[in-house]
A and B are shown apart, each in its own frame.
Chain A
Amino acid sequence: MVLIFAVGRLGGAPGGGPKLKVMAYLDHAATTPMLPAALDAYVAAAREVGNPSSLHAAGRGARRLVEESRERIAAALSARPSEVIFTGGGTESDNLAVKGIFWARRAAQPARARVVASAVEHHAVLDAVDWLGRQEGAAVASLPVDGAGRVAPETLAEMIDEYRDELAVISVQWANNEVGTVQPIAELARIAAEAGVPFHTDAVQAVGQIPVDFAASGVAALTVTGHKVGGPVGVGALLLGREVPCTPLLHGGGQERDVRSGTLDTPGVVAFATAVEAAVKTREEYATRLAALRDELVERVRAAVPDAIFNGSVADRLPGNAHFSFPGCEGDALLLLLDAQGVYCSTGSACSAGVAQPSHVLLAMGADDARSRSSLRFTLGHDSTTADVDALLAALPGAVERARRAGAWKTPR
């Protein structure tokens, strides 16, 4: 026999709401709409022919666009242009930093075979570290976090004392993608630098939200990506200090300081630079507006669902992030019900074959399995308004009530 399914509702939308949907996009941390200026820049550059590595005038034209973009990104993030390595996005930058620096450091000093990463890293770092452990014989150490998801600098200091001469690379994200907790990066980077260990940070969620200054932070490598700042998907960069050794993942034409071969995506790079520049330039005003809107969202969610648990830090937090656990609910049930009402959010956790796994971030913060599974992430962006919060609050109480009823069948197990 065949297995099955379509769950039907005989007429009407779930929740009995109106058929006409008000769309509220509350998933900007997943991807945020392209800024009009970035889209225009992309289209303009995509009309031109020219490989930046070609020596003729068309190639030089493309190269000029790439190099100008490199300079704009460097200026926006306080790096030197030569420190900007364009990549295919956040996952590639994270893999390049973690694996590349590990390989280069171990090749120079075989005793340096230990990788340290925080317990709340994105899977692009976590799984790269895990792979180094399984396939490359790396020793792996995980930095624990507190209940708000924060790495304490003294924890890193203790770990460095313990493993000093074994350390190849340390990676701690600037801000968490699920609960929005901002790490004390400058302090962590200083401790690592004092011990002479390259420190990488995944700043994908931080750029454009909070101040990110590559030079002042003291980090050796920093990941940034286009589609979280209003640029296109599929382009990003690794800011990599000149003196930081890094073995390439990709071999070929020797582009990008020989660290990242592959023809440069000129329109993508131009649009990415346009977005980073705009996001950094407007950041302060943007963050103030977003934090106020986020606080309104949090306050209204708490009023509507008094037992909702607010996850993460209150003070050290991304301005656009709100993250809750709704006791008695399955996050994926809530997501389905809100989706049906045109409210788009995330369970915030990694998916495996479309099945939500309990969030490793919340588990690392000490939450139990039920609390991890009952969570939802709402993230705001440059086009978010009070109307989005209104739409969420119109749908949320009914969704929570339904999801609680639906959760009841699972409770006895």
Chain B
Amino acid sequence: MSGGVDSAVAAARARDAGHDVTGVHLALARNPQTFRTGARGCCTLEDSRDARRAADVIGIPFYVWDMAEEFHDSVVDDFVNEYAAGRTPNPCLRCNEKIKFAAVLDRAVALGFDAVVTGHHARLGADGLLRRSVDLPKDQSYVLAVLTRSQLERAVFPLGDSTKEQVRAEAAERGLAVADKPDSHDICFISDGDTRGFLERRLGSAPGDIVDGRSGEKLGTHNGAYGFTIGQRKGLDLRVPAADGRPRYVLSITPVTNTVTVGPREDLEVDVVTAERPIWHEISSDVSCEVQLRAHGEVVAASVSVTEDGLTARLESPARGVAAGQAIVAYRPDPGGDIVLGSATITAGTRAPADVANA
């Protein structure tokens, strides 16, 4: 229980369903004072108190589990290392994969529990299929698609059939004080929301060049390539305006030369996405489906083929801002909630040669 409204209602529903439920709050900071303070977070002492009060109201036992070391090793270090390697990680996804449905689940099962219930907005029905939430803007299936079959078998998501609004209303009816607590949006371990500053403190300042992707011309300098994400437009601070006056975007990051390459929006477009470490639930390894390339990102129709080590998606229309390190999640549209077919970690987005010739 994070101390937020979703996990509180999820716990209450699990209890109402007749399960013997125990509330667990994760202490993820090595020093609880260093993580974000205030009502926005999920890892502060205040959040821990909110979770405890929710558990009291629901009438379930409550404990805090210290997962700070595991979280630091699997999520925070991974986050820093991925940026250092020029990729764009998703720490929430990593936390689901390595902490909530791994370290926590393993410990819980060893202690005699059967499943981990979370307040994620996603559906997981009797058919074992992971589907999008009915509340599409709040859908979190993207950050859960990394879960394996055996992890999903021990997961319960009681909120998938409800909108966030319904969850909040139910929390209020149940007398849960967290009913109107604001959603958390930012990365929980970056207290001030300044990701670039956080990375600079971890990785040190590493000045390098910002160059034009077409001409190779040096347009400016940066203090660390890790501070950039593919598709980023703001914060480039370029002194040389583009010849056509149009905005420029980050096209690629090359850690070896510490170079950030920029260019016009159309140069961001890719129609072939390759990815590694696939988790694949579908029987067929060649499917026509939809793919989502970042959290809350657009959905594109694609042909996906999967092997043991990788996944390739040919997009029917180009996508922009495809960053290595993010997940590609494949969905099959379904009236009962789009079904997650599988996911993988993006290694590259490229233009198919024919498209490049036509451009």
Contact = CB atoms under 8 A, between A and B. Distances in A.
B11 A6 contact: yes
Interface string B99-118: 01001101110111111111
A8 B7 contact: no
A409 B7 contact: no
Given A2-B6, A354-B63, A8 B110 contact: no
Interface centre among A2, A12, A14, A407 (most CB of B within 10 A): A2
B22 A354 contact: no
A188 B25 CA distance: 44
A402 B48 contact: no
Given A14-B20, A353-B32, A3 B63 contact: no
B106 A354 contact: no
Given A2-B183, A11-B18, 15 more contacts: A1-B140, A2-B120, A3-B28, A4-B6, A4-B10, A4-B100, A5-B11, A7-B21, A8-B22, A9-B19, A9-B113, A15-B112, A16-B112, A336-B111, A413-B70
B22 A9 contact: yes
Nearest to A357: B66
A352 interface: yes
Interface in B65-95: 65-66, 68-70, 73, 92, 95
B179 interface: no
Interface string B1-43: 1101111001100100011111111111000100000000011
Nearest to B140: A1
15 contacts: A1-B143, A3-B26, A4-B119, A5-B1, A6-B1, A7-B104, A8-B19, A11-B20, A332-B66, A333-B107, A333-B111, A340-B61, A354-B63, A354-B64, A409-B106
Contact of B112 (A2, A337, A353): A337
B107 A6 contact: no
B23 A13 contact: no
B190 interface: no
Given A354-B63, A356-B66, A3 B111 contact: no
A316 interface: no
A4 B111 contact: no
B31 to A, nearest CB: 9
B63 A332 contact: yes
B156 A8 contact: yes
Contacts of B61: 336, 339-340
A315 interface: no
Contact of B113 (A1, A14, A353, A408): A14
A403 interface: yes
Contact of B63 (A1, A2, A336, A413): A336
B60 interface: yes
A1 B92 contact: yes
B348 interface: no
A96 to B, nearest CB: 27
A91 to B, nearest CB: 20
Give the size category of B's interface with A: 35 or more
Contacts of B68: 355
Contacts of A16: 112
A353 B20 contact: no
A302 B189 CA distance: 43
B69 A406 contact: no
A405 interface: yes
A406 B183 CA distance: 32
A6 B4 contact: no
A405 B108 CA distance: 10
Interface of A: 1-16, 332-333, 336-337, 339-340, 352-356, 402-403, 405-409, 413
Contacts of A5: 1-2, 7, 11, 23-26, 51, 100, 104, 116-118
Given A14-B111, A356-B66, A406-B107, A8 B27 contact: no
Contacts of A14: 20, 22, 111-113
B32 A3 contact: no
A355 B112 CA distance: 21
A8 B20 contact: yes
A354 B113 contact: no
A3 B100 CA distance: 9
Contacts of A354: 25, 27, 48, 52, 63-64
B310 to A, nearest CB: 27
B48 A353 contact: yes
Interface in B143-157: 143, 156
A406 B110 contact: yes
A355 B143 contact: no
B22 A336 contact: yes
B45 interface: yes
A413 B69 contact: yes
Contacts of A407: 110
Contacts of B103: 409
B7 A3 contact: yes
Nearest to A12: B20
Contacts of B118: 4-6
Contacts of A353: 27, 32, 45, 48, 64
Contacts of A1: 92, 120, 140, 143, 184, 295
B188 interface: yes
B2 A409 contact: no
A381 B38 CA distance: 41
A6 B10 contact: yes
Nearest to B32: A353
